[in-house]
Structures are given as C-alpha cells and as structure tokens.
Structure 1
Amino acid sequence: MVGLCMEFRRPAKARPGDKVAVVSPSFAAPGQAPSVHEQAMRRLSELTGLVPVEYPTTRKVGASARERAADLNAAFGDPGIRAVLATIGGEDQITVVPHLDADAAWADPKPFLGYSDNTNILSWLWTHGVAGFYGGSTQVQLGPGPAVDTCHAMALRAALITGERLEVTDPGQSEDFGKDWADPAALTEYGTREPTEPWAWAGPARPVTGRTWGGCIDVISWILTAGRFPQDPSVLDGGVLLLESSEDLIPAREFGFILRSLGERGLLEAVDAVMVARPPASNFTRMPDPAGRAAHRQAQRETAIEIVQRYNAAAVVCVGVPFGHTRPQWILPYGGTVTVDGASQRVWADFS
C-alpha cells in the first residue's frame, strides 16, 4: 500500500487529439439513455479537443464485474489512452475491484475521473500510488441540460489538459437531480435549481494544504468493511478528507454514524482538514418542500461539524462545497492537493 508519506504518481496531461476512454465500471447508463450519452461525448470533444473511445461494456447494461474490469484493464494498459472517464456510478463496483490490474495502472498512470460508486476505483488507485480526480461522470455532468456548467468545464479542462491551480467557488445555484432521461427535455433543460447557502466553516483560522482521500461516505463504509484501505491511519497524516453523500439521501443520523466510525478508526484525527459537499436533499421519489430540503442540509452540516470536532478539534472544516451529487459540480484532485483556508475561508485545488 502507498500512503501520504510516500510518493504518488501524478498522470501526465493529455493533449488535444489524444484518446480518452469512456467506461461504465458500475451501471451502463449510456445503454439506457443513449441520446444523453451521445450529447455528452460531443461536448467532451468540444470542451477538450480529446477523442472519446468507448469499450464493450460502456453501453452494455448488466455486464458482469469481470467484463467491466476487463475494459478498465484494457484502458489502463493502452498507451494510446491518456485518461479514463466513468459515465456514472452505481452500487456494485466493489465487485469489480478484485479483477483490476494494479501493474497496468502503475506502469502508465493516467487520470481516472468519477464519483459516487467510483470511489471504489479512485481509492484502489490511491492505495497503489496513482492520483485521480473526484467528479466528472459524463452521463450526469456533461450530457444533460442546455450546456455544461462553467465551473465543471473549467475543472474538467484543468484535470485533463491544463493542470492549473483554481479557486473552488460557489456557483450560487444548485440542483439535486435533472430531468428524467426518458424525457427529451433532459437534453435541453436543467433540473430545478435553487440558491445555495454560504459554506459553513469550523475549526482554527489557518490554511491547510494536503493530499486528498475520501469520496461518497456510503461507499467509504463499504471499502473499509471490505478491508481495502490501509490499517494504519497515519497514511492520511496531514491530508484533506473529502466526504459527500448520494442521492439515497441518508439521514444526518446515519451520516454521523459512519463519520463516527471514521473517527474511531483514527482517520479523522489523522487529517488536517475535512471538506463535506453540499448534499442532495431530494430525488425522483422523495421531494420535500424547500423547508424540508433546507432542514436536511442543515442537519447533515451540524452533524459533520460536531463529530469532526469531537475527534479532531484542530482540523479545519468546510461544509457545503459542490463536489458531490449536486450540480453544478466541481471536480477535485484525488490524491492530489487541495488547500482549505480557514483564515480566508477559501478553497483552492491543484490540478497538476
């Protein structure tokens, strides 16, 4: 295992005209909604100048774990592929990880982009010393709506091509989910958007710059249960923990239980900063009114701050940053560095 005290390999940036793999390591959403996928591929090419390459299971709904792993191994092992992008998450990627080829990923490291269930692959790469990026699933962030959100487009280009340092800012509005993909309006309209709340800050007024690890808190609990993370919490010493929750809308109490377990494991004590994303507060089947949505976000915010401070009062905590399941979405380095500045109450991401 490779930890924070050891060197990570940061994949080289792609250049316009290079090929990038587009894969479905969890659910093959492009097979269910091909028009959204095809619009995503057009936009990916327009924004980056890169050439998307599909694999046998990219559109194959119901592909086995071994089949999906074979596509990932082929992409990681192909010198002509310069990045790997997930189309979407899902719920069974944990069964894909045992079939992945660490030697291929290490020999020619290339950035992997995804979030949600893709926490599995990002954390697996992290434990093998390969940095990636949290966010950017094409079927959700590129395909739907009238355009790609500005902050997402900036972060995508930075992750894949330019590698600059960007300030992570609040876009001022947010949606929990978009139009149903079966509705033609999914290609031209956003979901219901509402104003965002100011980010909440806690802990000392000091800047922290550290290497990131974390992801979707639901999936993190699975990874730790499966024993796929180093036992020694010192691998996170001085790092920045990224946490976000999914469209399953787990209550703040359950979020707190998982976070408490991270504290008991020693992971909260090890890090110097914790960033918690703005959570979705509604989905296609659960649609609380504005007050109910605000209450859900407030409860998770208060729970996150209380539990982190219980285990690590010296950690800088920022809650509300849009890097998870809401849109617009910032992509963040995973195994790269982020600065969480409790003094200026600003966040910076290094995409090099």
Structure 2
Amino acid sequence: MTPLSYPPKPRPGDRVAVVSPSAGLPGLFPHVYELGLRRLREEFGLEPVEYPTTRVMGADPRDRARDLTAAFADPSVTAVLATVGGDDLITVTPHLDDAVLRANPKPYYGYSDNTNVLNHLHRLGIVSYHGGSVLVHLGRPGSPHPLTFDSLRAALFTSGWYELTPATEWGDQPNDWQDPASLADEPLMFPGSGWSWQGPERVVEGRTWGGNLEILHWLLAADRVAPAAELAGSVFLIETSEELPPGTEVYRILRNLGERGLLATFPAAVVGRAKAWDFARPHTPEQRQAYAAEQRAAVTRAFAEYAPDAVLVFDVDLGHTDPQLIVPYGGEIRVDAVARRISVRY
C-alpha cells in the first residue's frame, strides 16, 4: 500500500496555479471567474497563475494534462486550484507525468469531476483536498459564504485538526451565470437541520477516500481504483452531482462497490447533502425533500447489505450544495458518533 503524505502548504503572498483540467468554463463566464480571482487575491492574499488551457473550452486532454503537470513542476507555485468540474477529466489523467507529480507534491483543491485527479494523487501517495472551486465557491454571487471561506482558509494555510460545522443554512439553487447582474444577488438558502447519524455509537478514525459517486463509478469501469485491500479502513466520502442521479442508480453504484469488496472495508461513510435542484429540473422544496430522502434510503440500503456496522453521517456540506466544507482526500478524519462531531486534519 502506498503511504500517504501531506504536501507543504502555501502562505499568503504565494503564487498558486489556477487550472481547468476538466471544463474551461472561465472562458464562457469570465465575470464569475474574475470575481473568484479577485477574492483569491483579496481574501486569501494569493496570486493566481493561469495556464494556456485555463480559459479554453474543449482543450485537448493532452494539453490540459501538460498544464496540470507544469503547475506541479513550477517551483514558484505552492498550490493548485481547479476552476470548476466537468465530465471528461478521466481522459486527462492518463497523460499526467507521475514522476513530476511525485517529485513535486503540492496541495490540490477540487471536487466533482476532479475526483479523477484526487483519486490519481491518492494512488501516488499525495494527500489532496476535496472541495474549493474558483468559479463556484470563490465566485459565489452576493458575498462569500463564511463556512466555505473559513474551511478553505484553514485547508490552504494550516496543518492541524479542524472541526467541521453543520450549516445553519444551505442552498442548491445557484444563480444563473449567463446573467452577469445575478452576481449581485445572494443565492436562495434554506434553514439547516444539522447532520443525520445512523449506525453504532463509536469513534472512527482513518484516511478519507471517495468523492463524487458518479465519477467513482466511471473510475471503476476504467480500472483506476485501488484494490479493496489497499483502501481498507478508509472513511468513505460520498457526494452526487447536479445530474441528480435517482436513488435506484445510487443504490446500484454502491451495490457494485459492495460486490467489488469495497463497502465492507469502510468503517464509516460521510455523505454529502444531496443536491436536488438543477436548471433542467427546478424541483419544489417538497420535491427536494423527497429526492434527498430517496437518496438517503439508497445509501442506507446498500450499507445495510454490505457494511451493516458502518457509521453513516448524512447531510454533511461537502458536495455540490452551498456552503461547501473542504475535506482532505487521503488525509486524516475523525468521525465521532458518540459526540456527533467530525474533525479533519488539514
């Protein structure tokens, strides 16, 4: 099993890479992107460094891989931030120069389709960070969400333990990026109701692995997931995307992981709050609740069949909803089902 290590952290004033290894959406929505860059400079004191494909939609996967490799190779760059997700990063990671990544480990921040990179770095022994997006989170309309920015600031600059906090309000209905005026408006938010716990009351400590569930299924199909024995003892991170996979599909994906022998090795799973609204499916609040309940039932069913003694925590703000808490990928986590607290080591 490859040992995992934390890369050195940036400091305020450092140069950090801003890359689009997935979709080059900064080129389509420069107003959102520029807001994210301004906050990166003003709120975090970091100087963003762009690469040739950062603002290019449909760039060749080899070119995107070349930019990502160059970001790791540059000795003046101390961290790498993905601008956004997408759906074809699985075609990029085979072109990365793993020797360069191993020789120049740096903290990488991304989620959704970036699960491809997070998993790739995990297999190289490099701890990365699930969460953070220049467009979605740094470019949030209205004002930055304090929970997101506090978590991201800690994940960027500190190395100690950090306690995750349940959101007192949350949202999953983003403003329309095609309307620049919408950047002035706060997103629609709902009252938070805390996390939901299932399973035995015990404390689980381990290293994290997982990410976006749909992308994990693709990675399994491409045979890019480590054997179950290597992932044994991991705390499983689960979140789903704006494609709103139905509960049946969520269950089947998890069942496949169970048949592979993975679920039985996970002592705990931290499940992101289900995103239940999209522009193509503008669900009512009642439909949102029904969708989230269906997804929770699917996860509960799969774990009852393959890992009945696992601790499950639902509605943690780590996925496609707002705010977003940053979680180390391959880093340490403590899931305390007795005190009902979750802490991570950045």
Please state which band the TM-score falls in when normalised by the shorter chain. over 0.9
Give the one of 163, 185, 197 matched to 1:189: 185
Residues in 1 aligned to 2:155 and 2:44: alpha-carbon distance in whole angstroms: 10
- The reply to whether residue 164 of structure 1 matches residue 160 of structure 2 is yes
Aligned to 1:149: 145
Paired position in structure 1 for 2:47? 51
The letter for the 1-side match of 2:300 is I
Q: Which residue of 1 aligns with 2:329?
A: 334
Whole-Å Cα distance in 2 between the matches of residues 186 and 346 of structure 1? 36
Contact 1:47 1:157 in 2 (8 A): no
Aligned partner of 2:262 among 262, 267, 282: 267
- Which residue among 9, 18, 29 is the counterpart of 1:13? 9
**Preserved contact between residue 151 and residue 328 of structure 1 (Cα < 8 Å):** yes
CA drift of 1:144 comes to 2.5
Equivalent residues of 2:251, 2:301 under 8 A apart: no
Q: Distance in 2 between matches of 1:89 and 1:120?
A: 10
Distance 1:199 1:171 in 2: 9
**CA-atom RMSD in angstroms:** 1.1
User: How far has the Cα of 1:296 moved from its partner?
Assistant: 0.4
* 1:210 equivalent among 200, 206, 216: 206
| Structure 1 match to 2:230 | 235
The alignment partner of 1:222 has SS state of helix
**Aligned counterpart for 1:94 among listed residues 90, 93, 109:** 90
Q: Does 1:291 align with 2:286?
A: yes
1:282–1:293 Cα contact (<8 Å) kept:
yes
Deviant stretches of 4+, over 3 Å: none
Q: Is the partner of 1:176 in helix, strand or coil? A: strand
On the 8 A contact 2:142/2:187 being kept in 1, the answer is no
* 1:319 alignment partner in structure 2: 314
The residue type equivalent to 2:149 in the other structure is A
SS at match of 2:190: strand
Query: Could you state the TM-score of these two structures normalised by the residue count of structure 2?
Result: 0.97
SS in 1 for 2:238: strand
Q: Take 1:186 and 1:81, find their aligned partners in 2: how far apart are those partners?
A: 33
Q: Give, in whole Å, the separation in 2 of the partners of 1:189 and 1:109.
A: 38
Q: Which runs of 5+ in 1 are unaligned?
A: none
CA distance in 2, matches of 1:237, 1:58: 36
Cα distance in 1 between the residues matched to 2:145 and 2:55: 25
Task: Kindly indicate whether residue 295 of structure 2 is the aligned counterpart of residue 308 of structure 1.
Answer: no
Match of 1:132? Answer: 128
- Please list the CA deviations of residues 67-113 of structure 1 after superposition, one character each: whole Å capped at 9, or x if unmatched: 11110010011111111000000000000011001111111100110
Deviation of 1:39 after TM superposition, in Å, equals 0.8
Counterpart residue number, 1:120: 116
Question: Structure 2: how far apart are the matches of 1:47 and 1:239?
Answer: 33
Structure 2: 5+ residue stretches without partners: none
Contact 2:33 2:139 in 1 (8 A): yes
Q: Matched residues in 1 for 2:182 and 2:167: separation?
A: 21
Question: Under a length normalisation based on structure 1, what TM-score does the superposition of the two structures give?
Answer: 0.96
